[in-house]
Amino acid sequence: MPVLTIQGIPGASSHILEELMKALRIAVAQSLGDISEDDVSVFFPQDLCPAGLGEEIIISVHGLYDKPERTDEVLRKLATAIAGVGHLWFPQAKIESFVTTQKPSHSCAINPSKPTL
């Protein structure tokens, strides 16, 4: 399922981040059309350097399986939708969004019973 990572956000309250998270989940689910909002994970890692926070915000999507219905047009729509959400919340910032897909055969493990090395 898709994982969003948002970098460059200036200090914000947890309430604001939760509302932004909801808006991003809705945008992803509506853009893709084949997942629910609950299938989308959103993370806001802390930036170690406060200089420039809020000037440029990067929204990355990864962990998104490559499917025939996820055409270039659909992925562009997704990138545009999440950048639009970012712009609504941070209108003064330069917003960039990146969407990366992966083949299902290059899968991951979720809660494996025992790790494989």
- 52-95 pLDDT, tens digit per residue, is 888 899 999 998 988 899 999 999 999 999 999 999 999 999 99
CA dist., res. 83 & res. 99, Å (int): 11
Could you give the angle at which helices 14-32 and 72-89 cross, rounded to 10 degrees?
Answer: 160
Q: In the chain, what is the straight-line distance between the N-terminal and C-terminal CA atoms, in Å?
A: 23
Distances (CA, A) of 99 to 10, 13, 14, 15: 22, 26, 25, 26
In a domain, residue 54? The reply is yes
Domain count, the chain: 1
In a domain, residue 27? The reply is yes
**Cα 107-4-40 angle, rounded to 5 deg:** 70
- Which residues span the domain enclosing 102? 3-106
This prediction has a pTM of 0.85
- pLDDT, residue 113, reads 63
Q: Residue 69 belongs to a domain with what CATH number? A: 3.30.429.10
Q: Which of 2, 16, 10, 14 is nearest to 82 (CA)?
A: 2
In a domain, residue 117? The reply is no
In a domain, residue 78? The reply is yes
In a domain, residue 65? The reply is yes
In a domain, residue 114? The reply is no
Give the neighbor-by-neighbor strand order of the sheet with 94-102.
41-43, 3-7, 56-65, 94-102
- pLDDT, residue 7, reads 94
